[in-house]
Amino acid sequence: MRRRRSLAQPWAAGALAAVTLVLPITLPTAPAAAADSASATATSATVFYYTKTKNWSDHYLHYAPDGGSWTTVPGTRMQTACTDWVKLTVDLGSAAGLQATFNNGNGVWDNNGGRNYALGTGDITVKDGVVAHSDPCADSGGSGTGNESTVYYSTETLGWTTVNFHYAPAGGSWTTVPGVGMEAACTGWWKKTVDIGTATSLKAAFNNGNGVWDNNNSADYTIGTGASTVKNNTVTANAKDPCTAEEPDTEAPSVPANVRASATNTSVVVSWDAATDDTGVTKYQVTRTGGTQGSTVVDVTSTVHSDTGLEEDTAYSYTVKAVDAAGNTSAASAAATATTGKKPATPTAGTPLGTDPRKDPIYFVMTARFHDGDSSNNRGGSQHTKSGNAANDDPMFRGDFKGLVERLDYIKALGFSAVWITPVVLNRSDYDYHGYHGYDFYKVDARLESTGASYQDLINAAHAKGMKIYQDVVYNHSSRWGAKGLFTPTVYGVRDSQWSWYYDEKKDGFEYDGLTVEAKSGKAYYNGDLWSTAEPTGNTCLNWGKPTGGKSAEGYTLYNCQWPSPTSGMFPKAFYHQCWIGNWEGEDARSCWLHEDLADFNTENTQVQNYLIGAYDKYIDMGVDGFRVDTAVHIPRVTWNRRFLPAIQERVTQRFGAEAAQNFFVFGEVAAFVNDKWNRGSVNHSAQFYTWKERREYSADDETAAIEQYTYENNLGTGNQPTSTNAFLQGNTYHTPDHSRFSGMNIIDMRMHMNFSDAQNAYNNGKDSDDSVNDATYNVVYVDSHDYGPNKSSTRYSGGTDAWAENMSLMWTFRGIPTLYYGSEIEFQKGKQIDCGPTCPLATTGRAYYGDHLAGSITASGFGTVASADGQVATTLAQPLVQHLQRLNQIRRAIPALQMGQYSTEGISGSMAFKRRYTSGATDSFVLVTVTDAATYSGIPNGTYRDAVTGDVKTVSNGSLSVAAPGKGNLRVYVLDGPGKIGANGPYLK
């Protein structure tokens, strides 16, 4: 998966993310701390309560001094203090504070979310749940008897709801902590004017009344007389009032020049030179004329516009206007014209290659981040600017199938014969490039396809090169907007002065596909079909459309039923689960939501099962070679074994035959992020558990059966689970594996993955689990991925080139199927955070765009060999780990025992040393392997052994063979009656 694993925010539309404190925060300086002592003897408290948010007609303070009794409900009426504030002074006697709640005298309460407010002494403010210490009604002006200093303080990046100004005139005393309250001046700015007598400057610090300070990195701020601003640790003297309206901008941008239009089939790409403006161009308006649909106008923020889904053989004309932030609009550009052609023909369905999947090392790509073959399908989405992607000209949907087809030879030149791609179904969310927010499971996401490069074209192109396509599939969840064709929720939304920027007007007949721009909104991420002010038929979301009492970060009114969640009643119980996961190793891990973006299917419901089976039958029919199953652990094994896995086998058998079905590779993500054999003792949440059939009959009802299975298997415990010898030699002998109890699902080797910070650790941990896996020779083995690095690290692996080489040498010779996450062959983005959502640019993460390293041309002459390459891709292919990979793949491909062999460590000394054998018909392949260190093998067959790395020949007549240490990252591969040296020496294999 990718994303995981935080609970929901009540609202997460673009501009409403929580604000992060960015100024350096330290404790108050010594003078400020000393000044606080004067308040220690106070025996009363004056409580100020903010009235604007609640909009009550009356206000009562219900309180109890510490150690004392509560007032009689509703408490004591508070008095008007000043605009938006009421107050009450209470006698505390000897108490050092009070417990308090507030109410309107008519049963509506503010009791701090059930916790009550703990208040101290002196002047206290309570504003929107935040307690601070100041008098909000104190005189905001100077006395007029001395010098005055007017200070404006910016909280634009802080998110504070109260600001106190703690200061000392030069040569004078500090105010009492926390200082005097500042008044809101305008959005993001607070103001205070103070009389500093004869002083000409003052020292100052600021705080939020809750112990968070900005004292200029302990240096305090020096501020003079007159007006000053303080923003991001910078004082500007004699400053202009930041709240004064700017002079109106009346100058229009220049006219966009050099407008160009080119057509491919039924799409047109329009581009132009950027316009100029005195304050900056914010968008462009592109007007299209021609065809039978009339004129359309769309807004775009870049200098390219892709117009898709047009009529065949039709002339279209385009003009462009530039618009600045004030709305000034340039004159229209000169027109550019283009004539469309015919729609492309639908490619013929493919046929899976159908060979043993253990022969095929896997290269894992995030399609949208790998290589951009067609810029016209690039889309940034609603988070394009906020994420920082816009500044890098790096839309989240950038790579595509065309780019992948163009670089299949690169992947083949590395030596990989299988490509695992992220989900292809139509996605829908604010940030959905990764593919895990499925919306229409029956459609391929148009942002990945191009003319002549559909998903079917990719499958066919890969097969033509002898390469497999493994499709990432999601059975556990849809996007937060449900699944089209099954159920999609309707949220409450109102296009008022606050929310019209977010809720697009409904457009009858427009269908979201992620790519096509809706003309009126100018958005490809149009949402007019998702919301309504009218309560939908059958609605079960309580208080539809009523204000929650809360506000967004901008102060906008929030409403009930404005955001999908499992507990809102907006999803039917029949199709979706109704809770958040509380225990990741508990039963609720299968029956609750992972995240607000991932609406959890009720996979025990027949309609849901049929929806998903029908969808994935479509991709089986296209000829894909296997499925990587996302979040497999969040669906009960009994449901997999009863419904989904048999459906896959049945469909492949129907379309392509029994042998193809046997080799259709299904491997599941059972995310167990622990180092023990069984995931915290829960067999139901351990990867190997999913490789087995059921051992007993359960209820005919799938939901009841899921609970029965969970209880039964956990009660049996880890010591009573099935075991297997399928991965192990019997002495030196290969034996026919017993797959009679195999479920049909293989697994990602999470235990090796978790321990790959050190190859020796990964090796030891992997061996320890193999007897509980049905057949560990099918385990998918990787170091890191789009989710985590080893030890659940949130960064891409950065152990160094030598360590990478050692890890690869182990993966390519030990049991299992070696898998590499895109770019690891050049340590791409090593140490970078793998994923931070839209809070940082993708270019700074482990999911950065890789295409810049693939520029130029490349032709593979075989798996692991290059016929020709030029440009940047030639430089990429020259990197040491690339050369290491190429030779490892050449060696593995030539030795069947390294692909499909069982293994043993019996009679072997050495830290990462083992023997493997595979026997089938006329094939009998026996190999001795040691990685990095020396090894001795006893009790092995006599004969001639040739090292595939060096070509060294050793004749064994006494059943024993010794190998000197080859060095870190290097290895020795002695093959009985082998071919000798395979490939040329490289930076590690030599």
CB atoms within 10 A of CB 972: 25
Read off the pLDDT of each residue in 107-112 and give the average, rounded to a whole number.
90
| Bridging pattern class, strands 226-231 and 234-236 | antiparallel
Distance CA 634, CA 721 (A): 20
Read off the pLDDT of each residue in 658-669 and give the average, rounded to a whole number.
97
Is the pLDDT assigned to residue 159 strictly greater than 80? no
**H/E segment holding residue 472:** strand 468-474
pLDDT tens string 441-473: 999 999 999 999 999 999 999 999 999 999 999
Cβ atoms of residues 59 and 86 within 8 Å: yes
Indicate the average pLDDT of the chain. Answer: 91
CB atoms within 10 A of CB 890: 20
Residue 281, beta-bridge partner list: 324
In the prediction, which pLDDT does 161 show? 79
In the prediction, which pLDDT does 674 show? 79
Check residues 569 and 368 and name the one with the higher pLDDT.
368
pLDDT tens string 32-60: 333 333 333 457 899 999 998 888 999 99
Q: How confident is the model at residue 932 (pLDDT cuts 50, 70, 90)?
A: very high
Is the pLDDT assigned to residue 840 strictly greater than 90? yes
Q: How confident is the model at residue 383 (pLDDT cuts 50, 70, 90)?
A: very high
Distance CA 969, CA 951 (A): 18
In the prediction, which pLDDT does 122 show? 84
Instruction: Give backbone dihedrals phi and psi of 487, rounded to 5 degrees, phi first.
Output: -165, 135
- The SS3 call for residue 496 is coil
Read off the pLDDT of each residue in 501-510 and give the average, rounded to a whole number.
92
Question: Among 560, 772, 801, 814, which residue's Cα sits nearest to residue 678?
Answer: 772
CA 633 to chain centre: 19
Is the pLDDT assigned to residue 27 strictly greater than 70? no
Question: Among 450, 448, 438, 558, which residue's Cα sits nearest to residue 486?
Answer: 438
> What Rg, from alpha-carbon coordinates, does the chain have?
33
Is the pLDDT assigned to residue 685 strictly greater than 50? yes
Read off the pLDDT of each residue in 209-215 and give the average, rounded to a whole number.
85
702-708 long-range CB contacts below 8 Å, 24 or more apart? 702/604, 702/605, 702/638, 702/639, 702/642, 702/643, 703/602, 703/604, 705/604, 705/636, 705/638, 705/639, 705/642, 706/590, 706/591, 706/604, 706/636, 706/638, 706/639, 707/587
Distance CA 349, CA 454 (A): 11
How many percent of the chain have pLDDT more than 70? 95
Distance CA 483, CA 438 (A): 7
Question: Among 984, 973, 913, which residue's Cα sits nearest to residue 948?
Answer: 973
Read off the pLDDT of each residue in 246-261 and give the average, rounded to a whole number.
91
Is the pLDDT assigned to residue 25 strictly greater than 80? no
Q: Which whole-number Å values give the CA distances from 407 to 827, 869, 872, in the listed order?
A: 19, 12, 13
Distance CA 576, CA 568 (A): 12
In the prediction, which pLDDT does 144 show? 56
In the prediction, which pLDDT does 139 show? 58
The beta strands (E) that lie in 196-350 are given as 201-207, 213-214, 221-224, 226-231, 234-236, 257-264, 267-273, 281-289, 296-300, 304-307, 315-324, 336-339
Q: Which whole-number Å values give the CA distances from 671 to 588, 679, 774, in the listed order?
A: 15, 9, 18
Distance CA 349, CA 815 (A): 34
The beta strands (E) that lie in 560-620 are given as 599-600
pTM for the model stands at 0.75
Read off the pLDDT of each residue in 94-117 and give the average, rounded to a whole number.
90
| Bridging pattern class, strands 971-976 and 953-956 | unpaired
- The SS3 call for residue 685 is helix
Cis peptide before 941 (omega within 30 of 0): no
Is the pLDDT assigned to residue 775 strictly greater than 50? yes
In the prediction, which pLDDT does 42 show? 53
Distance CA 192, CA 199 (A): 17
- The SS3 call for residue 547 is strand
Read off the pLDDT of each residue in 842-857 and give the average, rounded to a whole number.
98
In the prediction, which pLDDT does 68 show? 92
In the prediction, which pLDDT does 146 show? 85
Read off the pLDDT of each residue in 605-623 and give the average, rounded to a whole number.
95
In the prediction, which pLDDT does 18 show? 27
Cβ atoms of residues 860 and 413 within 8 Å: yes
Q: Is 211 exposed, middle or buried (0-12, 13-18, 19+ CB in 10 A)?
A: exposed
Q: Buried (b) or exposed (e) across 690-729, using 16+ Cβ within 10 A?
A: bbbebeeebeeebbebbbbbbeebbeeebeebeebebbbb
pLDDT tens string 302-353: 787 878 889 999 999 999 999 998 899 999 999 999 999 998 888 889 999 9
Read off the pLDDT of each residue in 749-765 and give the average, rounded to a whole number.
96
Is the pLDDT assigned to residue 891 strictly greater than 90? yes
pLDDT tens string 799-830: 999 999 999 999 999 999 999 999 999 999 99
Is the pLDDT assigned to residue 953 strictly greater than 90? yes
Is the pLDDT assigned to residue 380 strictly greater than 90? yes
CA 133 to chain centre: 40
Distance CA 845, CA 824 (A): 13
Instruction: Give backbone dihedrals phi and psi of 880, rounded to 5 degrees, phi first.
Output: -60, -40
Cβ atoms of residues 431 and 381 within 8 Å: yes
Distance CA 97, CA 317 (A): 73
